[in-house]
Amino acid sequence: MTIIILIIGSLLFGALGKKLGLAAVVGQLLAGVILGPAGLGWLTYTHLIEYWAEIGVLLLMFNAGLETELKTLMKNWRMASAVAIAGVVVPLMAFYGAALALGYDNNEAVLWGIVFSATSISITIAVLAEQKLLAGKLGAVILGAAILDDVIALVMVSGYTLAVGSNGLGITSILPMLVFFIGVAIQRFFPGNKILQATDFIGKFGLYPLFFGSIGLRIVMDQLNQSWSVIIALIILAVITKMVGSGIGAKLTGGSWDFSLAVGAGMISRGEMALIIASLGLAAGVIDQVVFSELVIVIIAATILAPLIMRPLFKRQGS
């Protein structure tokens, strides 16, 4: 019953978001915030919701693969690589410094840097698909950069877990990438949109709103170490560092200013990977529940802001 309420609520808020000129994803994210512990308290984040939300991520990545041509992806590998590397280095250094300035120790500061260097492509895919830009150069650069971004994050986390003595991320962290490439392979050898039509319908009216709504459910505001002014500053830092870092990578490899800004906006969103890394830090005892909640608030706020920034910049690329 909880899952049905979350899906219906997310669909309704998504439709309302579109009516207000926003991306549907924004409404779906806010549905989770409003219905969850941070709002009305009607729903909580459960293992069952987590399970189906993870399937929603996999379906989203699979459908993105079905809409992506390997030729376009490979053609833009140079720019995608520059976007990924610059988009990791800038937030990594900025959040490492910010954590130290706030009084956290070196292990915590490194974790902060890794958390905010990771990109979540799922929100961006939804906005790209809405703007019919997923199959073009913008989609290829962002997808390619996000894949490499996740690879870099996995390498950093592997080294970090060895240093702090944790168990690492496991196979579930790379499943979205694997499923994406399965979709690309199917599209390459079996072109056509019948599979996409079927899976996209299931996603749009079931698993996608469940996944996006579930992100909002993870915000808990019972107790915080930092003042709201500090948290708002961290949210702004999360947006600016990713947008500037990734945008510089695109500009240095031949992108126009408009295109580079659109690429930077497409890399802002944090989500499942950042939440997994933060959860790893919590499980390893590097951070406590209060710091974890603060990180989750910043991650989710940046994720909610991302489509608001993306949509107008993406529209200019589609016009």
Q: Which tens digits make up the pLDDT trace of 95-135?
A: 999 999 999 988 889 889 999 988 877 777 777 877 777 77
Identify the CATH number of the domain in which residue 13 sits: 1.20.1530.20
197-221 pLDDT, tens digit per residue, is 677 778 888 888 898 888 788 777 7
Residue 161's pLDDT band (cuts 50, 70, 90): low
Task: Give the model's pLDDT for residue 221.
Answer: 73
Question: How much of the chain exceeds pLDDT 70, in percent?
Answer: 86
pTM: 0.74
Number of domains in the chain: 1
Domain interval for residue 20: 2-318
What value does the CA radius of gyration of the chain take, rounded to a whole number of Å? 18
> What is the mean pLDDT of the segment spanning 36-56?
87
For the beta carbon of residue 44, count every other beta carbon within 10 angstroms: 13
Task: Give the model's pLDDT for residue 252.
Answer: 92
Least confident of 43-57, 167-181, 218-232, 258-272: 167-181
Instruction: State yes or no: pLDDT of 184 exceeds 80.
Output: no
